[in-house]
Amino acid sequence: MTFGWINWGVVAVVVLGTTLLGHLLKGKSSGVEGFFLGGRNLPWWAVSASIMASQISAVTVIAVPGAIFAQGGNLLFLQGTLLGFIVAKVLMSWLFVKAYYERQIYSPYDFIENRLGPGSAHLSRGLFLGGAILGHGVRLLTVAMLLGVVVDMPIGQSVLIMGVFAVIWTLMGGITTVIWTDFILFCIIVAGAVISLLVIIGGLPMGIAEAVRELDEAAKLKLIDVSTDPAKTWTVWTGLICFAIFELAQNSVDQVITQRMMCCRDYKEARKAVLGSLGIVIFTLLLAAVGLGVWLFYQHQKPDAAATAFLTEQPSRAFPYFIMHELPVGVSGLLIAGIFAAGISTLDSALAALSETTVNGIYRKWVRPAATDDECMRMSRIWVVVWGLILCLLAYLAGKLVQNEGLLNLAYKVPVLTYGPLLMIAIFALSRRGSFRSILTGTAASVASAMTLLILIRRDVAHIDEFWIYPISCLVFVAVTGISGGLKTATER
């Protein structure tokens, strides 16, 4: 089935309409603070939706239904979302939000600098930049590959289009435009998922009770696993411990997320934004329902043999296939537009964060400490374009070099190497504990332990799931930093 000019028209209307609305809503905030923090005057509900849009990548929209559709797929992954997300966001709102609003800062790395000094701040910025460059470059490539399958668009062309719009949206009004476009796109994605679910329900030859019974008989509704086997990916314990650490780090020390939280009027509004972003749990449940529905739909309305073989071999393509073949023309265009725009949203979020870190964390600190606000604004816009080019080039080159999905999945493990020490540095900063020497030693040991475990797991030597690297790397950081004398406060030293 070809995508068709009607669907392409819908995609164009959504992307261009979002661009226009983003321009109209960008506000009048000026200067570096306006560009990177929206004048600290954005409503908490828009910030909350933007946080959710940043965390819901296009890959998530496709991967969640695909994981359920796959043979043996079920709802066990929800343990991470239902437990880890909730625990992490509550901890974030309690531990970090008020502390981040004590001073007029731009990033968690400024907070670390105020508490622990410039050395620890530069170290944390370096960890963020390294993880963000590779991680978001690969995310961009993955979205381009998925769209290539659906709409028969070359990877290079898909990457270029997303890159151009991401740069334009970021340049139009900085983080303000990014947040409002994220808000619009989040609404589109939610609407698309709801429409898909309604179409599925309308196409099923059974009632809800019978559908639930069939899903249960196929073990698709399995939700809880209390196993203590560390080799299992999804258990209550990985959700409560590993996924909670991952999510807490993402919210508290990853500038892509924290930059949005700092756009609120005060810490009370920011706390509402963080807790409000728990709506991502509801959206994930909606995607899970879509995945269950797609599986049921094709159990009773089986596609031809070639399509069945394709979906069996590549279950991650089940939802895109359903979009293209089962949804009405125009509606399928809306869904693809949402997925396409989610890729742009992921990229513009990274561009705003990378530009801020480069200008405020490097240019103002090392290159031009006396730079004027106007000069920093020019550099901010320049670096948005530069980082856009770098990430698009990285995605394009990776598409030429990567020949299997395993390497792509490996690149997604970058947070395993950086989130542990980043989170621990921020926690040490809360209590003003740790010299730069001890924190540098702890970071090196933490990254080395994470890398060693990742290699051992990949070679089937260590029989634990990769999620357990998060708590282990945190413990290594604390142990080594403590041995180095880093548990003392500044006054004790």
67-100 tens-digit pLDDT: 899 888 899 989 887 888 899 999 999 999 999 9
3-state class (DSSP) for residue 164: helix
**Max Cα distance, the chain (Å):** 72
Q: What's the pLDDT at 124?
A: 94
Q: What's the pLDDT at 408?
A: 43
Q: What's the pLDDT at 311?
A: 84
For residues 354 and 388, what is the distance between their CA atoms, to the nearest angstrom? 10
| Residue 475 domain-assigned (yes or no) | no
- More confident position, 414 or 172: 172
| Residue 445 domain-assigned (yes or no) | no
Q: What's the pLDDT at 413?
A: 64
Cα Rg of the chain (Å, integer): 22
Cβ atoms of 333 and 12 closer than 8 Å: no
Q: What's the pLDDT at 328?
A: 86
| Residue 459 domain-assigned (yes or no) | no
| Residue 429 domain-assigned (yes or no) | no
Cβ atoms of 54 and 256 closer than 8 Å: yes
Cβ atoms of 423 and 474 closer than 8 Å: yes
Confidence of residue 228 (pLDDT cuts 50, 70, 90): very high
Beta bridge partners, 143, equal none
What average pLDDT does range 459-481 have in this prediction? 93
Beta bridge partners, 433, equal 489
Q: Which of 37-51, 53-67, 195-209 is predicted least confidently?
A: 53-67
Q: What's the pLDDT at 215?
A: 93
Q: For residue 120, what are the domain limits? A: 5-414
- Among 73, 279, 255, which residue's Cα sits nearest to residue 178? 255
| Residue 25 domain-assigned (yes or no) | yes
Confidence of residue 493 (pLDDT cuts 50, 70, 90): very low
| Residue 131 domain-assigned (yes or no) | yes
For residues 259 and 183, what is the distance between their CA atoms, to the nearest angstrom? 15
- More confident position, 37 or 449: 449
pLDDT at 146 over 80: no
Give residue-wise pLDDT tens across range 399-416.
776 544 444 454 456 688
| Residue 427 domain-assigned (yes or no) | no
Cβ atoms of 32 and 179 closer than 8 Å: no
| Residue 430 domain-assigned (yes or no) | no
Torsion over CA: 260, 109, 467, 395 (sign)? positive
pLDDT at 216 over 70: yes
Structure-block tokens of residue 484: 């180095």
CATH number at residue 395: 1.20.1730.10
User: How many domains is the chain built from?
Assistant: 1
> What whole-number percentage of the chain has pLDDT above 70?
91
